[in-house]
Amino acid sequence: MVQVFEDAIRRKEGDSLAQPLWRAEQIRRLERRWAEREGLPLYVLMERAGAALCNYARHHWPESSRWWIFVGPGNNGGDGYVLARLARRLGLEPLVIAARAPGLLKGDARRAAEEWLASGGSVMMADELAHSTLPLPELVIDALLGTGVQLPLSPSMTKAVATMNGQGVPVLAVDLPSGLNADTGRAMGALVHATRTLTFIGIKQGMLTADGVDGVGHLDWDPLGVGPEDGVIPAAERIDYPRLKGLLVPRARSAHKGRCGRVLLTGGNLGMQGAILLAGQACLRAGAGLVRLCQHPDAPPASLVQPELMGCPAGMDEAWASVHVLGPGLGQDEWARARFEHRLAAPEPLVLDADGLNWLAQAPRHRDNWVLTPHPGEAARLLGCTIDEVEADRFAAVSRLQRRYGGVVLLKGAGSLICDGPTIALCDEGNPGMASGGMGDLLSGIIAALLAQGWPAGMAARLGAVIHGEAADLAAAEGERGMLASDLLPWIRRLVNPTQ
């Protein structure tokens, strides 16, 4: 079994792509500063992008020769024209399908189109494609729209996106899939669903959250020789387990349970004891020294299922705990309300989740030493808005939550976001198999265990997110559909011991 764990983790770590994340305007600024510093025109970057795309496509689809390259009216389309010229030079059969006539283009995009035509290439307008009898492509390349998409796509662009998605062949997106808002990750109506995306200069923050995770496919990155300048701060940071696992150093030989933290979890109302049990088990597996559960008094003791989970007897001095968790299975009745108010009066660090967050939405307050872990529905209640408004810009939403409530906020979902005030981290580990009950309870338990062992709140939330997502990805080797929260527990233990 140990070898199975090791082999699975080794395969997973080979996919690491931890990088700074940028907003679209930051990328444009980096390009302009590079051109000024090097004394070169920006067209040089378009040439480099086209060459990188040609090499990339030939590497991943070496047997393909009929390429349909959809080009738009901007520099993304210019990259496509350069790619077409280079592909034709290699003896391939690129078909350029344009959303705008080459003569109407401007700047570097127009130059790229003119050089394509001068090399003997031709252009088919997108509205002519439906009436053609061309052989089907072997590869579709999306160079239609770039990072400037801010409004819903026009009917003609929507039709072009549908055509790209409907060919039944691999799709390579140039820089990012057409229709994706590079800053928020929302689809602006239609969205290209790429097989692979080759992005340039830096990874755009919207590519790894919200709708971006459905559009991007496999992501690769080419800086094109442009590096960030000293002092330039990215919009966010992508985190993953391989990048952070070095923080999980072995314990001192003299360690004992009293030094590894004492966690008290409150929740487990009648009919919902499974939530607090999962959170407690994850807390144990993530290394907390001692764990107690405060459940509804009529609930059966968790020790019947997990002997190491202690109860919370009446009259126990709750200052015993170094960290509290409040919310898993808490409920919305009078017992739950009393537990909520009582726990929030305690000064110890707190992880607040599930119904704990729903109670907080009814009685907002600000605190510096807690970690909030809302999903989009809970975030909407905390902000007094709709789920659609949260998902429209998850980066803005997590920042608003942190300003309003303080501490560290982890906004769960596809591309979970962690905001501690000055910085935002994005964890894109995890998979659709996590769309089942109990997954969030595990996360609360992991974060609490890390807090109890001494990690600061921001790092405990980051480490908790990557361990949680990595465990889910490893557990999903047996299939995403039907994966249970409890399937992650053995992996959690293995992941918090990366050097053992």
479 is in an annotated binding site: no
146 assigned binding-site residue = yes
Tokens of 487: 């399937």
The SS3 of residue 260 is coil
Query: Rounded CA gap, 143 and 163, in Å?
Result: 13
Answer yes or no: is 413 a known binding residue: yes
Instruction: Please tell me the total number of residues recorded for the chain in this structure.
Output: 500
Which residue blocks in 273-412 are alpha helix, DSSP H? 273-285, 334-344, 355-362, 376-383, 387-392, 394-405
Closest of 17, 27, 16, 25 to residue 49, by C-alpha: 27
On whether 214 is known to bind a ligand per the annotation, the reply is no
Structure tokens at 307: 């002997």
Minimal CA–CA distance to 155: which of 122, 133, 127, 180? 127
Q: Cα separation of 349 and 450, whole Å?
A: 12
From CA 266, how far away is CA 359, in angstroms rounded? 14
Q: Is 355 annotated as a binding residue?
A: no
CA 358/CA 441 separation, integer angstroms = 15
Whether residue 275 is annotated as binding a ligand: the answer is yes
Q: d(Cα 295, Cα 56) in Å, to the nearest integer?
A: 56
Ligand-binding annotation for 440, yes or no, is yes
Q: Is 266 assigned a ligand-binding role in the annotation? A: no
Is 323 annotated in some ligand binding site?
no
Helices 376-383 and 355-362 sit at what angle, rounded to 10 degrees?
Answer: 10
Are 119 and 88 in contact by the 8 Å Cβ rule? The answer is yes
Q: Is 497 annotated as a binding residue?
A: no
Contact between 451 and 408 under an 8 Å Cβ cutoff? The reply is no
Residue 240, marked binder: no
Flag whether 129 is marked binding: no
DSSP assignment of 404-460, as one string?
Answer: HH-SEEEE-SSSEEEE-SS-EEEE----GGG-STTHHHHHHHHHHHHHHTT--HHHH
Q: Are 76 and 145 in contact (CB under 8 A)?
A: yes
Annotation-wise, does 412 bind a ligand? yes
CB distance 369 to 407 below 8 Å: yes
149 marked ligand binding residue = yes
Distance, in Å, from the CA atom of 114 to the CA atom of 335, rounded to the nearest integer, reads 73
77 labeled part of a ligand binding site: yes
Q: Is 397 annotated as a binding residue?
A: no
Check the annotation: does 375 bind a ligand: yes
Amino acid at 427: C
317 assigned ligand-binding residue:
no
The one-character DSSP state at 180 is: B
Q: For residue 230, say whether it is annotated as part of any ligand binding site.
A: no
* Residues of each annotated binding site: 75-79, 142, 146-152, 175, 178, 275, 329, 375, 412-416, 440-441
Question: Binding site residues for (6S)-NADPHX, as ranges?
Answer: 75-79, 146-152, 175, 275, 329, 375, 441
| Residue list for the binding site for K(+) | 76, 142, 178
Q: Which residues are annotated as a binding site for AMP?
A: 412-416, 440
